[in-house]
Amino acid sequence: MSNIPKIVILGAGYGGILTAQRLQKELNYNEADVTLVNKHDYHYFTTHLHMPAAGTDKMENARVSISKLIDEFKIDFVKATVQQIRLQDKKVLLEDGSALSFDYLIIAMGGEPETFGIPGMAEHAMNIRSINSVRFIRQHIEFQFARYKRDQSRTECLTFVVGGAGFTGIEFVAELADRIPKLCKEYDVDPELVKIYNIEAAPSALPGFDPELVEYAMDVLKKKGVTFKIGTAIKECTPDGVIVGENEFIKAGTVVWTGGIRGNHMIEEAGFETMRGRVKVDEYLRAPGHDNIYIIGDNSLMFNPEGRPYPPTAQIAMQQGVTCAHNIVASIRNQQPKKFVFSNKGTVASLGKGEAIGVVGNRKFKGFIAAQLKKAVDIRYLFIIGGIPLVLKKGKFF
C-alpha cells in the first residue's frame, strides 16, 4: 500500500486551477498524488462571460483547455460531475458511480445562482454562470429578434430585463447595449423599439463601489439606452416578464438574473454548517473541525478587518488558491501553515467598448484609461495561468 497522500481538488475555476498549478510547482516527485476533478475539460473565465453572452465576443475567448494549464504528469485530471462528498469515508462520489478517496480535499466547485426566494426566478430567468448558459443566452437574444420579425405584434421580444446591478449585471447590460444596434441593422428593426431594463433592489447600482464612479457608469449606460430601476425589487418572474415594485408588470421576452450567487448545494448536503451555502473557514482556509479539508472561492466565507464578508470575486479565489496549495504542502511536510491575507489589487468594471470604471488603491479611473486597465487585468490573469502563449492567443490588446 502506498503512503503517498492523496490530494483531490474539486473544481477548475479560478481557485481550483491556481491551487493545482501551485501544487504541481511546489510538490516534489512522489510527494503526493494530486487529482483535479471538473465537469468540463476546460477552464472558463467567469469575469469574461458577459461578452459572449451578449454576443460581443467569441465563446472561445472565454475558455481554455485544462490540459494546456496543468502538467498531466503531475496532476491527474478527471472529467466528471461530483455527486456527493462523504466526509466520514474521505471519499468523493462521482456521477458515473466511481469514487475518489482523499487525504486532503480542496472544495472549489463554484457557486450557484441566489434567487432570494423570488417566485419563478429559478424557473424562468437565465443566468450568466457557465459557457453553456452563455451560449443559450446569446442564441436566445438572436431568436427574439427573429421572432419579432416574424410577428411584429410581439413587441415584448425586444424588451430585455436584467435583474441585479452588481458587476455582472452592469457589465452584461453594457455589452447588450453595444450589441443591440448591430442586431437591429441585421434584422431590420427600429432601435427605438428595443428596451433594456436594469433592475436593482439595493439603493444603488454597483453596491459598495465609489458613488462618483457609479454615477459615471449609469450616465454612460443611460446614453446607450439602458433604463435603470434602482431601489426596486423584482417581486416575481413569470414566463412573460417580471413584476416589480408596486405590482408593475414589465412584459419581456428575455429575463437574465445576475442578482447574486450562493455556495454549492453539495457543501450543505455534505454536512458542513453554511451561510447561504458558504462555509466560514479558518484563517488557513480550512473547514471547521477538518484540518485536511480546504474550502475556497465562492464556497468560502471570510471576513475583512471591518467584519464584513469578502465578496466572492475571482481575485480573492486566485489568492486563496495560492495560499491553499502552500498550506497543503506545509501540512505534508509538517511545517507551519500560512494565514490567508487578502491583498486588494483593485477593482475594474467594464461598461462596454472603450468604457470602464475602476479603483486601484486610492486612485479612481474612468473612461478609456479604465478600459485599458480592464484589459491589463485580463492579460495579467492569462499570463499567471498560461504564460505568454496564452496571452498571445486569448489576450485583447485593442
- Chain segment 1-40, per-residue pLDDT in tens: 358 999 999 999 999 999 999 999 999 988 999 999 999 9
Give the separation between CA 278 and CA 161, rounded to whole angstroms.
Answer: 28
- Chain segment 43-54, per-residue pLDDT in tens: 999 999 999 999
| Cβ–Cβ under 8 Å, residues 137 and 53 | yes
Q: Are strands 279-280 and 159-163 parallel, antiparallel or unpaired?
A: unpaired
- 171 belongs to the catalytic site: yes
And the C-alpha cell for 89? 469515508
Give the separation between CA 229 and CA 226, rounded to whole angstroms.
Answer: 10
- Of 287 and 396, the structure prediction assigns the larger pLDDT to 287
Q: Which residue is catalytic, options 26, 95, 114, 171?
A: 171
- Chain segment 117-133, per-residue pLDDT in tens: 999 999 999 999 999 99
Q: What is the mean pLDDT of the chain?
A: 94
Give the separation between CA 369 and CA 374, rounded to whole angstroms.
Answer: 9
CB neighbour list of residue 336: distance below 8 Å, 6 or more residues apart? 330
Is it the case that residue 311 has pLDDT exceeding 90?
Answer: no
Is it the case that residue 259 has pLDDT exceeding 50?
Answer: yes
Is it the case that residue 280 has pLDDT exceeding 50?
Answer: yes
Percent of the chain whose predicted confidence (pLDDT) is above 90 = 87
Mean pLDDT on 302-327: 92
- Of 124 and 305, the structure prediction assigns the larger pLDDT to 124
pLDDT of 253 reads 97
**Radius of gyration over alpha carbons of the chain, in Å?**
22
Query: Residue 55 — pLDDT band, cuts 50, 70, 90?
Result: very high
**pTM for this model (two decimals):** 0.94
Residue the block writes with cell 469578502: 310
- Chain segment 139-173, per-residue pLDDT in tens: 999 999 999 999 999 999 999 999 999 999 999 99
Element at 295 (helix H, strand E): strand 290-295
